[in-house]
Structure 1
Amino acid sequence: MAAAIRQGGSDADPGLYGPRSVTWQLHGDPVMWIAGVRALYLQALHPLAVRGVTQNSDFRKDAWGRLLRTARFVATITYGTTEAAERAGAKVRGIHRRLSLTDPVTGVRHGVDEPELLLWVHCAEIDSYLHVMRRSGYPLTDAQADAYVAENVVSARLVGLDPADIPADTAALAAYFAKVRPQLANTPEAREVDAFLRRPPVHALLVPAREALWGRFAALAYGSLPPYAHELYGRPAPPPPVVTRRLRAMGRALRCIPPTVRWQLPPKHIMRAVERLGPGSRPSPYKLRKNAAILDSGDATGVRPHAAGLHGGGGS
């Protein structure tokens, strides 16, 4: 799976996914930032998962750091070399092994690396990435959406999950959320995450920018949650058609920023991947349109279906 493929005349290591994967194209889109915030909203509704965060870190003081570390992890396993991705996964597994949490209701201690908790975080991320991207107008067929879920069995393996236990298509992902739904709750920790995401602490001079920019991102992320999440949080959201229209408008605006400008932002994973593999490896939604007929016909030649990534959401 990690064997090098020829890309633009190069034999360089394409990493765990490679330029022919759906993941490679999708993760280069700027709307992924909104999807990541949706994942945080969703993850916080699992009582044990959110306590694993709040009991092992000062979330409010280091929330920006957590967001950036998650983004860096996703970028590394998507666009980095196989060695870099495996090393990032080993680091995450090592951190998780050392952490635990106490259920305040039962008093029982749980390891942060318990499969149930890791699986929730993984599925919440993958669902959020897929849901927000499609709803914002990113071109994905149903077959490509299934391929994306299957490809990211890899990310689940990297954080310590058994690939056999991971949803590998959109139907299995939906079934997983239906199963977990009764366990979700609006705990004090979830409300703390909600409060932070609505108004994260910033320098006084940046408050206007937070309201104008971050406020829109957070509102779109919250609005795109499934209805049961709005009910649990106790806050209304605009009607689904309104949210979809706003997501599409935001997607069009963000995609007007030239990719070469966006990719210059640190840590420049995509730029380094393109330098390693050649200009033909540049992520682009147009490549998905071109390959849609291949996937929909069932011939996924060149697509690595189980390119073995984490975390970051739930349920449409």
Structure 2
Amino acid sequence: MVQVLERARLAAGDAIFSRVAGPDAAATRSRIHETPGPRWFPAGSPIQRVHGDASMFVGGLRALLLQSWHPLAMAGVAAHSGYRGDPWGRLQRTSTFLATTTFATVDDAQRAVDAVRAVHARVQGTAPDGRAYAASDPELLRWVHVAEAQSFLVAHQEYGRRPLDARECDEYVAQVGAVGRRLGVEDVPRTRAELDAAVEEARPGLVLTDAARDAARFLLVEPPLPPVVRPVYAGLAAAALASLPAWARPGLPEVRVPARLAHPAGASVTRLIRWALPPAP
């Protein structure tokens, strides 16, 4: 029985890891964690605890849902990200960037930042409301940053194996802000209170557009997953939806898990993922 469980764990871990990190997941992981050299952040620091935890599966979904409320950010995603045509590729690029800037050598991390800035310089267009947008716009960069940072932290505090204390939460915000500044974000929040205030300050310009509703349906209800996996994914989706600010939930599609069960479902699925995935080196 123990051997059967171990085989099941390894198979599940390989499936999850390859989906998140891509076909060369093992090589990428080895390069990030095992290449000798200085890092931007010390081992075991808050940013490494947050970004290395299974709660990021909830946090990542929450971040995408929250970011989509900005009409210009959503217009850029809809036109340039390929989230429908290549959702796993987008996930793999994002997860590799986060892992690289959090755990890899300073040279590797800086190359990852430079690559993203080069992409941002090319992403521009016109939103359906007629306004021009550019991914390098400081306002958009700041919104994407604060939505991600708040989402990752909220999910970690709810579902992380070792939640942070108040001082560590502020340290996390400062550390993730250091990466944000390298990406071109201006007026970066330095504490959790400043981070939450920054999200609230953006509310007057936030609108749930048709494109945002379409993206939310894709993320929450129609993920590109086999039917057998969808009930498990629904636990993550319910947890992400329930963890959004109250003002950011109306208008989003309902998921298969009732709201009252969102937290226990999210906790159960997060524990399952943590059990399946191999620990980082």
Q: TM-score, normalised by structure 1?
A: 0.71
Q: What does residue 65 of structure 1 align with?
A: 89
The residue identity in structure 2 corresponding to 1:76 is T
The residue identity in structure 1 corresponding to 2:112 is A
Q: What does residue 184 of structure 1 align with?
A: 206
Which structure dedicates a bigger proportion of its chain to helix?
Answer: 2
The residue identity in structure 2 corresponding to 1:28 is G
> 2: distance between equivalents of 1:232 and 1:14?
46
1:256 counterpart = 2:275? yes
Q: CA deviation at 1:235?
A: 4.5
Q: What does residue 53 of structure 2 align with?
A: 29
Q: CA deviation at 1:256?
A: 3.4
Q: What does residue 103 of structure 1 align with?
A: 127
Q: What does residue 218 of structure 2 align with?
A: 196
Deviates more, 1:126-135 or 1:28-37: 28-37
The residue identity in structure 1 corresponding to 2:195 is L
Q: CA deviation at 1:20?
A: 4.4
Change beyond 3 A, Cα 1:20–1:111:
same
1:89 counterpart = 2:113? yes
Q: CA deviation at 1:188?
A: 1.0
> 2: distance between equivalents of 1:36 and 1:57?
15
Q: CA deviation at 1:159?
A: 1.6
> 1: distance between equivalents of 2:58 and 2:169?
18
Q: CA deviation at 1:242?
A: 4.4
Question: Residue 231 of structure 2: SS of its match in structure 1?
Answer: helix
Higher relative contact order (CA 8 A, sep 6+): 1
For residue 231 of structure 1, the aligned residue among 225, 230, 250 is: 250
Q: Do 1:35 and 1:128's aligned partners in 2 also have CA atoms closer than 8 Å?
A: yes
Question: Residue 133 of structure 2: SS of its match in structure 1?
Answer: strand
Q: Do 1:56 and 1:101's aligned partners in 2 also have CA atoms closer than 8 Å?
A: no
The residue identity in structure 2 corresponding to 1:128 is S
The residue identity in structure 2 corresponding to 1:185 is V
Q: CA deviation at 1:157?
A: 1.8
Question: Residue 15 of structure 1: SS of its match in structure 2?
Answer: coil
Deviates more, 1:179-188 or 1:50-59: 50-59
> 1: distance between equivalents of 2:51 and 2:81?
27
Q: What does residue 130 of structure 1 align with?
A: 153
Q: What does residue 293 of structure 1 align with?
A: none
Q: What does residue 12 of structure 2 align with?
A: none
> 1: distance between equivalents of 2:103 and 2:118?
22
Q: Do 1:136 and 1:250's aligned partners in 2 also have CA atoms closer than 8 Å?
A: no
Q: What does residue 289 of structure 1 align with?
A: none
Change beyond 3 A, Cα 1:57–1:128:
closer
> 2: distance between equivalents of 1:230 and 1:119?
21
Q: Do 2:61 and 2:237's aligned partners in 1 also have CA atoms closer than 8 Å?
A: yes
The residue identity in structure 1 corresponding to 2:217 is A
Structure 2 unaligned segments of length 5 or more: list them.
1-35
Question: Residue 109 of structure 2: SS of its match in structure 1?
Answer: helix
- 1:21-57 CA-to-partner distances (Å, cap 9, x unmatched) read 2112222111211211111111111110010111224
The residue identity in structure 1 corresponding to 2:150 is D
Question: Residue 154 of structure 1: SS of its match in structure 2?
Answer: helix
Question: Residue 18 of structure 1: SS of its match in structure 2?
Answer: coil
Structure 1 unaligned segments of length 5 or more: list them.
1-11, 264-269, 272-316
- 1:85-138 CA-to-partner distances (Å, cap 9, x unmatched) read 000000000011011021322x23222110111111111111011001101253
Q: CA deviation at 1:60?
A: 0.8
- Determine what percentage of the aligned residue pairs are the same residue: 36
Change beyond 3 A, Cα 1:238–1:174:
farther
Aligned residues: 245
> 1: distance between equivalents of 2:52 and 2:83?
27
Q: What does residue 14 of structure 1 align with?
A: 38
Q: Do 2:235 and 2:265's aligned partners in 1 also have CA atoms closer than 8 Å?
A: no
- 1:174-221 CA-to-partner distances (Å, cap 9, x unmatched) read 11111111221110110111111121234xxx2222x22222222221
Q: What does residue 207 of structure 1 align with?
A: 227
For residue 139 of structure 2, the aligned residue among 108, 113, 116 is: 116
> 1: distance between equivalents of 2:48 and 2:105?
13
1:217 counterpart = 2:233? no
Question: Residue 202 of structure 2: SS of its match in structure 1?
Answer: helix
Q: CA deviation at 1:83?
A: 0.2
Q: Do 2:238 and 2:262's aligned partners in 1 also have CA atoms closer than 8 Å?
A: no
Please give the root-mean-square deviation of Cα atoms over the aligned residues, in Å.
2.3
The residue identity in structure 2 corresponding to 1:192 is D
Runs of 4+ in 1 over 4 A off after TM superposition: 234-239
The residue identity in structure 2 corresponding to 1:215 is A
